[in-house]
Amino acid sequence: MAGIKINGLNKFYGDTQALFDVSLDIADGEFVVFVGPSGCGKSTLLRCLAGLEGVDSGSIEIGGRDVTKAEPVDRDLAMVFQSYALYPHMSVRANMEFGMKVNGLPAKERETRIAEAARILQLGEYLDRKPSQLSGGQRQRVAIGRAIVKDPKVFLFDEPLSNLDAKLRVQMRVELEGLHKQLAATMIYVTHDQVEAMTMADKIVVLNGGRVEQVGTPMELYHTPNSRFVAEFIGSPAMNVFSPKAGLTDLALNPATAFVGCRPEHFELVAPGQGHADATVTVKEQLGGESLLYLGLAGGTNVVARVDGDDATDVGQSIGLRIPPKRLHQFDSSGHALH
């Protein structure tokens, strides 16, 4: 197993710069998620790590060895793609065996590794099937199995669950977390889905326009985002970010504050006139255990509050909104958080 050090990575595609001075430390055994909107450079960073793309400057170390210029096969890592990339004419067993055969592993060792991967992934009874005879989740497991049998130092996952339906995604998420615990391997996982990032990561790397925007544990990013970008990206529904001129009163604000933020679950509903703002409920979405209240503030600002499913507040009602001081986020005019 191995830690990874990325130092000052820059990557261009022609005139387009995809990565700007990316530096990261990933500890041995860590589960790290690269997250960000489409086009932010997540896949590029992963592909540079894998050696599928060259870099223009900077360095990459895996397990203390400089691999910046090494071929993909010499980096001791295995990548699992969104598309599974299974050989359709080969059985599950042959799909897993292929890479090991190419690498000249003896038959006995190949068999042992396939048996172990099949055990971990519960694929034992499917070893003789073709990929077309498997469900999406099972195919994804075969793709992971093919990575496991390589016994790599590092696993790289590129949006591996995005082709699966919502229920299966949740199940595979739990399986991947279990796999990480069992293998104790360094895992790097790319997704645009902040829920996957929050639920699986030891450490999240938020990318924005080819730059590292923030690195932290899921709860650090949730509680102390460094920027408006991270604040609005992590958490669902997103943090409400709005101008303090939207009828806010009695809130102690930093003189540099251009925007305030409060997560939907952190507003307190009080009587009109008793909070930091008055609001009218325009829409109520009942989700069962909780409800979302869409609220209009003075000056046309709209915010969302998340309340208990039993909360009786209804459409058309006027309420007061209180922002508990420790739940208040403040940002300057360029979107930097003021802590």
Enter the DSSP assignment of 221: H
Told to check if 43 binds ligand ADP by CB under 6 A, we report yes
Q: Which listed range, 1-9, 31-39, 251-259, 325-333, lies at the site for ligand ADP (CB under 6 A)?
A: 31-39
Told to check if 51 binds ligand ADP by CB under 6 A, we report no
Do 277 and 321 form a contact (C-beta atoms < 8 A)? yes
AA identity, residue 313: T
Told to check if 261 binds ligand ADP by CB under 6 A, we report no
Told to check if 12 binds ligand ADP by CB under 6 A, we report no
Shortest Å distance, C-beta 183 to ligand ADP: 25
Q: In angstroms, rounded to a whole number, what is the distance separating the alpha carbons of residues 330 and 38?
A: 26
The smaller minimum CB distance to ligand ADP, of residues 155 and 267, is found at 155
Q: In angstroms, rounded to a whole number, what is the distance separating the alpha carbons of residues 87 and 83?
A: 11
Cis, bond preceding 237 (omega within 30 deg of 0): yes
Do 42 and 190 form a contact (C-beta atoms < 8 A)? yes
Shortest Å distance, C-beta 14 to ligand ADP: 6
**Cα–Cα distances in Å, from 264 out to 125, 236, 237?**
46, 9, 7
Q: Quick check: helix, strand or coil at residue 107?
A: helix
Q: In angstroms, rounded to a whole number, what is the distance separating the alpha carbons of residues 19 and 210?
A: 4
**Cα–Cα distances in Å, from 308 out to 264, 268, 316, 326, 328?**
12, 11, 18, 21, 20
- Which of residues 33, 40, 77, 205 is near ligand ADP by CB under 6 A? 40
- Which of residues 38, 132, 333, 334 is near ligand ADP by CB under 6 A? 38
The site that binds ligand ADP (CB under 6 A) totals a number of residues, namely 11
Shortest Å distance, C-beta 39 to ligand ADP: 4
**Cα–Cα distances in Å, from 48 out to 55, 108, 129, 186?**
7, 34, 34, 17
Told to check if 191 binds ligand ADP by CB under 6 A, we report no
Shortest Å distance, C-beta 159 to ligand ADP: 8
Shortest Å distance, C-beta 43 to ligand ADP: 3
Told to check if 39 binds ligand ADP by CB under 6 A, we report yes
Residue 321 token pair = 């909104």
- Which of residues 2, 35, 42, 51 is near ligand ADP by CB under 6 A? 42
Shortest Å distance, C-beta 146 to ligand ADP: 22
Told to check if 160 binds ligand ADP by CB under 6 A, we report no
The smaller minimum CB distance to ligand ADP, of residues 40 and 134, is found at 40
- Which of residues 4, 6, 9, 18 is near ligand ADP by CB under 6 A? 18
Interface with ligand ADP by CB under 6 A: which residues?
A: 13, 16, 18, 36, 38-44
